[in-house]
Structures are given as C-alpha cells and as structure tokens.
Structure 1
Amino acid sequence: MGHDAMIAIAGLSPAIGLLVVATILVVAAAVKGTLGLGMPVFSVSLLGGLLDPHAVLALMVVPVLASNLWQALQSGYWRTACRRFWPMIVCFAIGTAIGGYWMARIDPARLLTILGVIAIAFALVNLIKPDLRLAARHRNWVGAVVGGSTGVVNGLSTVNGPPLLMYLVACGLDREEFVGAYGVIALAGAVPLAATYAYTGVFGATEAYWSTLALLPVFAGLWLGRRLRRHIQPEVFRRVLLVLLMLLGANLIRRGLYA
C-alpha cells in the first residue's frame, strides 16, 4: 500500500483526509476516556465508512497494543490475573491469531458487513448490561470458550469488549481487579494481533508508520475524555453513543451488502 494511500479518502485532498482521520481518532479515544471503553469499535465504525476496512484495522494495531500494555502494567493485579485467568488468556491469544489470519483473506465488502454486525452487537450488549454470576468451578472452561471465540472476533475487528467484560463481571471482580484483568487479557490478544497482521501482509512498514502516528490523536482524545467525564452525565452520554454506534453498524452492513 502506498505511503499516503492508506489514509486516502475519495474526493478529499491528502491533507484534509489526514485531518478527518485524526479527528475521528480523537473522538473515538475521547469516548474511551469518558466511558472506559469503545475506542476500537468507534474508530472502526467511523473510519470503515471512509477507508479500506483492512487499512482501518491495521491503523488500530499500535494504539490498541499501547493502550492495553499501559492498562496492564499500571495495575498491580496483572500477575494474579495471569495465574487466575490463564485458560482465557491462552485461548484468547490463539483465537486472535486465527481471526487475524482470516481477516486478511476476507474481501472488503464482506469485512464491512462483519464489522457492522460486531458494532451492533457491542452496542446491544452494553445497552442491556446483563447481570451475570459465574460459579468458581466453571470459570476455567467458560473462560477458555469465551476467550477463544472472542479472540476470533478480536482478530477480525480489533473489538473484544462485551464478551470479556461480561465474563469478568460474572467472576465478581472488584474495580481494580477488573481493570487489571481486562488489561492483561486484552494485551494477550494485542500481541498476536500485531504479529498475525504483519505475517499476512496487512500490517507492513507503511501501516506501522501511520499506526504509530495514530498514537498522537489517540492520546489527545484520552486526555480530552478524562476531562469531559467530570462535566457530563456518563449514563446519558453512554446511551446516546451506543444508539449512534448501532446506526453506524447498520450503515457498514448496508455498504457491505450493496458494495
């Protein structure tokens, strides 16, 4: 892929296209800074309507890896999380590698449809917020199943939130344990995600360049989101964004079906 082709938007000059992409990344990261979730799914849903879907997923590799590494290391719970959730971690990593391998071989129209379905599912699960509890004796095998299946979705889309969040909530973790465990599990997927995308040619030198530059608007958006969190009603904001996400997902499905 050419140096500028990755972020080329039809009908716009390279400079304007770059500004649009950077603005979308700031907005998506601000959502995560405000709500604590949603950066990959909002980035993919918004950019998927403008760029080649494979390029969008490649663009998210470094921000996803960096944010999950930071989240895992800033928690003192990461060692315990590795021991407690190792079946999920291993299966999530394997599933991500499988999903990433498949992603490179899916035509763009079908990939848009898949991304749209994932976006809508993400929004619905977060709107419903089911109250689940999981007995300790079932945690290993359920974690392995959830980890493997969610890993495939993660490899296909860089989105992993709802199933992992539901599983960790069902395990009854407190806030610090929850944040640390999610960071470790997500990091376990981010590493094979980058490696598989690189192996299949989706993530090469050009993609690595733009993905690394994407850290700038992403960190700016995270900072903005943390500031906004003090001035808005998070629950109302969350519901509005999730409804918007469903509409974005429906548009991706429409584009995929009628491409």
Structure 2
Amino acid sequence: MTTLFSFYQDIGPALSLLVVLTFLLAGAVKGVIGLGLPTVAMGLLGLAMSPAQAAALLIVPSTLTNLWQLAAGGHLFALLRRLWPLLVMTFLGTLLGSSWLGIDSGQWAARALGGALLVYALYGLCGPGFRLAAGQELWLGPLCGLVTGVVTAATGVFVIPAVPYLQSLGLGREQMVQALGLSFTVSTLALALGLAGQDALGAEALGASLLVLVPALLGMFAGQWLRQRISAVLFKRCFFIGLGLLGLHLLLNG
C-alpha cells in the first residue's frame, strides 16, 4: 500500500492534483474522439515533470483503456492480418529507440515532445485527407511503424505518423476505432518495456500509474456522455488548437 502512494507523497499535493486533473481531462478527450489520452497526459504533465515520469504514469490507464477500445467490434483478426507489419515495426522501433535515445533525455526530450504535439495538431487542423493504394501499404506500413516507434521512445507520444497512416486506409468507423486501440496497445506495451529497460518503471511508478486509472476511466465515461451532446467536429478543432499551443510552448521553452 505504501508503494501505491509513495510517488504522490514525494511530489506533493499540488502536483498530485495536477496529475488527477490531467487524467480526468485526458480520459474525457479519449471518450469523445477515441484517442488522445497519452497525448494530453504527456503534454500537460511534461510541463511539470520529466517525460520519463509522465510516460510511466500513463502505462496502466493507457493499456487498459486501449484494450477496452480494442475489444469493441468484430474486426480484430482482419486488422491483425492487415496491420501486422505496422505493429511489429512499431514495437521494434520503440525498443530500438529506447536503447538508442531514451525518453529521459532532459530538455531535449521535452522539446521533442513539443514538436511531436505541434506536428500532430497541425495535421489534425490542416492535414489533407488521403487514401493509400493497396500496394503502398506493403512498404509504407513498416516505415510508419518504425518512425512511430522511435517517436514513441523519445517522447511517449505514439500518434505520429501512425494515426495519419491508419486514417489513410479507408477503414470504417468501427474498424478505425479498433485499429487505433490495437496500435496504441502495442505502442504502450513496447513503451513499458523500454521504460523498464531504463529503470524508469519500478514498483513505485506502476503503483502510481494504477491509481490514475480511476480518474482516467471517470473522464472517459464523462467524455462518452459528452460525445452524445456536442459537435465532435467543434470539439476536435478546439482539442487540436489547444494541443498545438501546448506543443509550441514545450518546443520553445523545453
């Protein structure tokens, strides 16, 4: 029991409150648009703690909420057959990136996180939709997986370029939700192994991550309720604008 709370005793009540509010907000974003929990969590917590600490906190809530998302729909085996090159290279790229770069690289990691958030926000606001031809998946899937893995290892954010790639495949709504859950689950598990290899995911960090599962789930349920009552297009626009400003701040100030 001491291990569960020792992380929060060390960081103090103010930062502990920031962690709880961050995961409430991150869970709500995921509930509304189906993604964004690690992106929001890493972006906000990166303002107050090292990227390695922030990434360790998101392991449990990200894994379980993504497994929940992955379980929805009946397309798992079809998606595995189609996406396995992306998933395998994402996993390997994250492990290789963790041993090469490492997420706990001080100011460099914070700037890399800001850059990743800014690129993702600009793509979400301005990126043109495009559709890949079937033959392009053979080489672009593994390449996107490798790049996503390296970005994940350096920043803890695993949306670039995996999400734009998945959006280019012409998947149906339920397939897309399940594909995102599948991709994010693989990325989170690989990130957990990378953090463990850097001694950044011990019992204390896992205990702290387990506790923030509660606000993350509450936020996700609230987001699913909110999704039925607001325009998803407006919410996405506000989300990407806020994410871009946050990324710009991290990029400029480290």
Query: Which residue of structure 2 aligns with residue 167 of structure 1?
Result: 165
Closer/same/farther in 2, CA of residues 155 and 67 from structure 1, 3 Å limit? farther
Aligned position for 2:42: 44
Matching residue's letter, 2:38 = P
AA paired with 1:189? S
CA distance in 2: counterparts of 1:30 and 1:178, whole angstroms: 19
Match of 2:122 in 1: 124
Task: Pick which of 159-168 and 133-142 moved more.
Answer: 159-168
Deviation at 1:165, TM superposition (A): 2.4
* 1:219 paired residue number: 217
Label 1:181 to 1:238 Cα distance change in 2 as closer, same or farther (>3 A). Answer: closer
- Which of 20, 23, 26 lines up with 1:25 in the alignment? 23
User: Are the equivalent residues in 2 in contact too, given 1:31–1:37 (CA < 8 A)?
Assistant: yes
Q: Identify if the C-alpha distance between structure 1 residues 53 and 190 changes in structure 2 by more than 3 Å, giving closer, same or farther.
A: closer
3-state SS of paired residue (2:131):
coil
Equivalent residue for 1:198? Answer: 196
CA–CA distance in structure 2, aligned partners of residues 17 and 189 of structure 1: 26
Residues 143/6 of structure 1: CA separation in 2 closer, same or farther (3 Å cut): farther
Q: Which residue of structure 2 lines up, in the alignment, with residue 152 of structure 1?
A: 150
Structure 1: how far apart are the matches of 2:58 and 2:69? 16
**One-letter amino acid of the structure 2 residue matched with residue 223 of structure 1:** F
Q: Does structure 1 residue 143 correspond to structure 2 residue 137?
A: no
Deviation at 1:104, TM superposition (A): 3.3
Q: Report the more deviating stretch, 103-112 or 44-53.
A: 103-112
Matches within 5 A, 1:53-92: 53-92=51-90
Q: 1:7 to 1:71 in 2, by over 3 A?
A: farther
- SS of residue paired to 2:161: helix
Cross-structure match for 1:237: 235
Q: CA contact under 8 A between 1:88 and 1:140: conserved in structure 2?
A: no
Equivalent pair of 1:60/1:158 in contact (CA under 8 Å):
no
How far apart, CA to CA, are the structure 2 residues paired with 1:35 and 1:29? 10
Whole-Å Cα distance in 1 between the matches of residues 8 and 252 of structure 2? 23
CA distance in 2, matches of 1:252, 1:214: 23
Unpaired runs of 5+ residues, structure 1, are: none
Distance, in Å, in 1 between the alignment partners of 2:182 and 2:171 is 14
Tell me which residue corresponds to 2:14: 16
Residues 172-191 of structure 1 aligned to structure 2 (within 5 Å)? 172-191=170-189
How many equivalent residue pairs? Answer: 251
Q: How many Å separate the matches in 1 of 2:43 and 2:116?
A: 9
State how far apart, in whole Å, the 2-side matches of 1:30 and 1:202 are.
27
The superposition leaves residues 43-65 of structure 1 with CA deviations (integer Å, 9 ceiling, x where unpaired) of 11111111222211111111221
Structure 2 CA distance, aligned partners of 1:220 and 1:82? 30
Paired AA for residue 217 in structure 2: F
Query: How far apart are residue 227 of structure 1 and its match?
Result: 1.3
**What amino acid sits opposite 1:48 in the alignment?**
G
Consecutive unaligned residues in structure 2, runs of 5 or more? none
Distance 2:239 2:90 in 1: 27
Distance 1:217 1:239, change over 3 A: same
Superposed displacement of residue 172, structure 1: 1.4
Please, what TM-score do these two structures have when normalized by structure 1? 0.89
User: Which amino acid in structure 2 is aligned with residue 36 of structure 1?
Assistant: G
8 Å Cα contact 1:125/1:162 also seen in 2: no
**For residues 121 and 31 of structure 1, what CA distance do their matches in structure 2 show?**
18
Indicate the SS of the match to 2:181: helix
The separation in 2 between residues aligned to 1:137 and 1:115, in whole angstroms, is 32
* Cα deviation, residue 89, structure 1: 1.2
CA contact (8 A) 1:7 1:51 kept: no
Indicate the percent of aligned positions where both proteins have the same amino acid: 33
SS of corresponding position for 1:198: helix
Q: Give, in whole Å, the separation in 2 of the partners of 1:60 and 1:230.
A: 26
Question: For the structure 1 residues 155 and 20, does the alpha-carbon distance in structure 2 shift closer, same or farther, using more than 3 Å as the test?
Answer: same
Q: Name the aligned partner's letter for residue 221 of structure 1.
A: G
Q: Determine the C-alpha separation between the residues in 1 that align with 2:186 and 2:219.
A: 24
Q: How far is the alpha carbon of 1:7 from its aligned partner?
A: 7.5
